[in-house]
A and B are shown apart, each in its own frame.
Chain A
Amino acid sequence: GQQVMQIPQYQHVQEGEDFTTYCNSSTTLSNIQWYKQRPGGHPVFLIQLVKSGEVKKQKRLTFQFGEAKKNSSLHITATQTTDVGTYFCAGPGGTASKLTFGTGTRLQVTL
């Protein structure tokens, strides 16, 4: 079945450092979504990418969709303690309605 892997599993950075998480799908995706889950919370939708090679920015966050539409990345510039949480990518999971979530990258930011 479809697999969506993310690396790294965990990263600990000092506040102000940059952070990147990479998402790789075993199949080509029509779109990719990113979610953030704070500790003890629920996933919150961040963004969706649809086009091959697409790049979108949200303040300090930059999202990229690969040319082959099988991978994606999320880069955070100058991390802050509010960025702490687990970041998941998610892609269509074989049927028209469901999503397959990636394995997630847990980010810890310390002062």
Chain B
Amino acid sequence: GAVVSQHPSRVICKSGTSVKIECRSLDFQATTMFWYRQFPKQSLMLMATSNEGSKATYEQGVEKDKFLINHASLTLSTLTVTSAHPEDSSFYICSARTSSGLSNQPQHFGDGTRLSIL
């Protein structure tokens, strides 16, 4: 149980393109999902907390207009990187919790999306 599916797994595109990444909880409902960014050999950096039916909460320094998050249902959150540039190239990972979203519950991660902007 507690499977999170993330799609696509890899994207290579030209500078200026917008890229949408989907995160789905397959066998549970997730009122809260999280979007992380990870650079090579570094830790996970939380970008934003995605809340079903309301606006996402962004971490300090993360541009809301650059990284659009939509959490329209209890099983789907999307991250759109708008007008992507080479500096946006990274590994993006989503996660979800199975319960009420409190931090004492484990997070279940998607497989991640490796984004390369040429």
> Which residue on B lies nearest to A104, using beta carbons?
B43
**Would you call A93 an interface residue if the criterion is a C-beta within 8 Å of the partner chain's C-beta atoms?**
yes
Decide: A45 and B108 in contact? CB cutoff 8 A: yes
Asked if B107 contacts A45 (CB within 8 A), the reply is yes
Q: How many positions in chain B have a CB within 8 Å of any CB in the partner chain? A: 22
Supposing A98-B103, A99-B103 touch, asked if A42 and B111 sit within 8 A by C-beta, the answer is yes
Residue B32, interface by CB 8 Å: yes
The reply to whether B32 and A101 form a contact with Cβ atoms under 8 Å apart is no
Taking a contact as CB atoms under 8 Å apart, the answer to whether B109 and A88 are in contact is: no
Chain A: CB-nearest residue to B112: A42
Could you tell me if A88 and B43 are in contact, using CB atoms closer than 8 angstroms? yes
- B106 contacts chain A at the CB level, 8 A cutoff: yes
Residues of A within 8 A of B43 (CB): 88, 101-104
- Sort chain A's interface into a size bin: 20 to 34
Chain A positions within 8 Å of B13 at CB level = none
The contact string, 1 if C-beta is below 8 Å from chain A, for chain B 76-118, is 0000000000000000010101000111101111111000000
Instruction: Give Cα A42 to B101, complex, Å.
Output: 20
Q: Does B74 contact A (CB under 8 A)?
A: no
A68-104 CB contacts (< 8 Å) to partner B = 88, 91-93, 95-104
Per a CB cutoff under 8 Å, which of A48, A50, A97, A101 touches B49?
Answer: A97
Residues of B within 8 A of A25 (CB): none
List B residues at the A interface (Cβ < 8 Å): 32, 34, 41-44, 46, 49, 93, 95, 97, 101-104, 106-112
